[in-house]
A and B are shown apart, each in its own frame.
Chain A
Amino acid sequence: MNELLFFMEVLVGGLLAGTMYSLVALGFVLIFKASATFNFSQGAMVFFSVLAFCGFMQDFNIPFVLAFILAAFLMVVVGLCTERLVLRPLMNASEDTVLMATIGLGYVLEGLAQAAWGVEVRRLDLGIGDFPVPWIADNLKLFISALDITAGLVAAIMIIGLFLLFKYTKIGLGLRAVADDAGAASSIGIPLKHIMLLVWSAAGVVALVAGMMWGARAGVQFALVDLALKALPVLIIGGFSSIPGAIIGGLIIGAVEKILEVYIGPFFGGAIEGWAPYVLAIFFLLYRPEGLFGEKIIRRV
């Protein structure tokens, strides 16, 4: 019975930690949908946004909610500048060119963030501890971190919000149209620049939320940039263009890496959660390259 409880604890802890990956992956999916480009600067956006948030709160003593609004607004401005200065000049360039541009954009954001707010690691206290919730520990005998639960809830809210935005608003319809066929969308007068602005801003806000969760756990520091890499296996498993895919992919990675770490890790000398997701991703690339929810890749010959 204890064995089972322990397994449950590992599983639930893994799933909830996975939602944190999902949050990061969500930002990628948004941009991939609209411009068919993997946004290499997503990690830098996470770092940039949460560092700005911390800066507002700690250096200027701005209250939490206002700091969040300011940081979110800043990300909209970043989206605006990205559309105007990077995407629009490259409108007719190949996807590869845009991909390279996002790498450059990443470096610019990293540099700007550190120039503005300094390079030291900052503590971010959201008022939610990264320790087991007593109520759950007493009643269900499971040790689950409050931060994990919060991240799970936040992820759920963001997904529902994005779903409603895409399904029921005009601009959401425009985005789905552009995702399906950008050429046809522009032929009926859907302005691509508005759509780009929307997705980059949304991806920026998603990055901010993901950054706050990760920052609360690991400190707000440069290492957050590499979080983006952890989202890669999530996207490969879930499919690059699917929002549900980002969620399920994150859950799978979270659960699998924790279970492998606990049960198989000791045979490899531990610390396999760092690379186990990538092994899983390679299997997906070999046998199901479009991911679980990705659109089937059809090419006419």
Chain B
Amino acid sequence: MSGNSANILDIKNIEVMYDNVILALHDVSLKVPKGKVVALLGANGAGKSTTLKAVSTMLASERGKVTKGSIDYDGNLIEKQNPSQMVGLGMVQVLEGRRCFGHLTVEENIISGAYSRKLSKGDIDQELEKIYTYFLRLKERRKSQAAFTSGGEQQMIAVARAMMAKPKMLLLDEPTMGLAPQLVAEIFNIVKELNQKEGVSILLAEQNTNIALKNSDYGYIIETGKVMLEGTAESLLNNDKVKELYLGISKKGRKNFRDVLKEESLNKKIN
């Protein structure tokens, strides 16, 4: 039942409500071409996580609902499916905040990702070895309890766990949150590698605009539940507005939003 279109994911004008009253997404449309990495950018509360959860059907467990629009994944219209059916269709979400199983060992965490697949013990070991080639650091720590690993390692566990389900598409929700720059780079290298070698399509929600765009093919910027701007990663990186508001680089040497505001208020006083 695989779709023949070039897009593995096609979201058309969705609106999402929580508890039937709180409007979280107004109008979001986006496409993820097969085998590509697409970045979904925006500040806290812009609707990035909500968009991802609408796609993975995790919304229902938070009393959220897609009230308008449609989501087409790999030829399937997403309506009444549940998360475990979506995993069966090859779509896995890596939730925000890593969410490892703290009392399980690193290896048990990763193996749990294969729960939906019917694999023999030997197959699982084989898959594990393959996963470890991407996550060398995890192999060293395979017997530790996940709760005692570092933030970066936990993020790797979460991605490795999702990869064990053999996804066609990964939804990554803020994989670099709270990580040191070196680890951020390491995580992105792994994501890029998984995309290229395993052919996984990736929809990536990030606040870290710069590094996200540098590792993506296409980007969408959303604010207050609406897509404000979209384009190829390169064009967004060179866009003046994006540079100023999200990347903190501008000709005037202003570094962030606060500087922009400060400067404006100074100008007002002088005038």
Contacts and interface: CB of A to CB of B under 8 A. Distances in A.
Interface of A: 91-92, 170, 173-174, 176-177, 179-181, 183-191, 295
A8 to B, nearest CB: 37
Interface of B: 56, 58, 60-63, 82-84, 86-88, 92-95, 99-104, 108, 111-113, 115-116, 158, 161-162, 164-165
Given A92-B63, A187-B92, 10 more contacts: A176-B103, A177-B104, A180-B104, A181-B102, A183-B58, A183-B95, A184-B99, A186-B83, A188-B87, A191-B84
Contacts of A187: 56, 58, 83, 87, 92-95, 99
B165 to A, nearest CB: 6
B53 to A, nearest CB: 9
Nearest to B112: A177
A189 B101 contact: no
B112 A174 contact: yes
Nearest to A191: B84
24 contacts: A92-B63, A173-B108, A173-B112, A174-B115, A176-B104, A179-B103, A181-B102, A183-B58, A183-B61, A183-B99, A184-B101, A184-B158, A186-B84, A187-B58, A187-B83, A187-B92, A188-B92, A188-B113, A188-B116, A188-B162, A189-B86, A189-B87, A190-B115, A190-B116
Contacts, number: 80
Q: Give the one of A181, A184, A185 with max B CB within 10 A.
A: A184
B61 A186 contact: yes
B111 A173 contact: yes
A180 B87 CA distance: 20
B155 to A, nearest CB: 13
A111 to B, nearest CB: 33
Nearest to B108: A173
Nearest to B104: A176
Given A177-B104, A191-B84, A170 B115 contact: yes
A183 B83 CA distance: 10
Contacts of B165: 188-189
